[in-house]
Structure 1
Amino acid sequence: MIRSALKPALQATTLLVASSLALAACSKKAPAELPPPPAPTTTTEAPPPATPQGPAPGSQADFAQQMMGKDTIYFDTDKFNVDADDQAALAQQAQWLAKYPAKKATIEGHADERGTREYNLALGERRANAAKNYLVSLGVDAGRLTTVSYGKERPVALGSDEASWAKNRRAVTVTID
């Protein structure tokens, strides 16, 4: 009886030893000699393309950056004439627009808070048209320019004093994408 109880245990042990030996026989052996290391490669990879710094050329941000504040011209009280300072700013705008002939622009006319809404809308329109006409005289195609008057509706300075009013009497050129 002891013999029959030992027989399955002996068979299991024998099977385990045989399996271990079989697996050990299948293991890889280290080669006698290692292969040579790979030869260094000399590829002439192009450096990654440089990421542009600053605004995209021809964009409104580029226009504003290039103008350095000269995208806006200022007027005296109740006036819409283009003076010497305004002419220099508009000349710089015309040069930029000549560089990007497919670009269109809107000239926004503004007025200070004094006067009626109707009066200031008309004054803003005259200011925008004066800036447009000067740009056209410098060679900018009139078809590329539109005007809009905001009158006193979009002030940049909210004070009720001469300094604030002077900042609000303006024409601003904005490029259209």
Structure 2
Amino acid sequence: MLHSEPEINDLEVMAIFRMALEKSIIEQKSVVEWSDKIISSNPENVPDFALELSISGNYGVNEAVHLLRENESTLENPVLWKILYGLVGLFYREKQIELSRACNAIADFANEIMSKTEYDLFGMSVSDAYFLAENGSYGNLENVEKSLLELTEEQLHLGKWFRSKYLMQKNEA
């Protein structure tokens, strides 16, 4: 199935980066590399956020998250959550993140986006299901994994697109 390339701007990219960085889905070096690419593509007209993010690698993840939050767009574009879900599904399938991190990230993404928009997203219960299955209270991890895979399946192409366009190196989070 052919998918069209989504339209997102730099401020929306920052929202995705911030949320993914907060949940350790991507590494800070991806943000720094992206900002460096912006700087090198137009050195005569560099946005302030690109300069700040470029040097944020010297100060740690919290500084990068703070800078991204200060400059990011709202979460109104519905493709943003789909990209985030796609990244989580992609990195989980590629064994770059474990099931617990994937489930918690999806739940946190859904919670934040639903609190700031009118979207009613699925995914908030996946971290609860993981917790209950992990401690043996209810369900099993195979069913949690199946739910996560089904929840992220339709967005995988967006995760792949975002990775190829904005994550310069293979994610190693």
Structures share fold, TM-score greater than 0.5: no
TM-score, normalised on structure 2? 0.23
Larger RCO, structure (CA 8 Å, separation 6 or more): 2
Please identify which structure carries the higher helix content: 2
TM-score, normalised on structure 1? 0.23
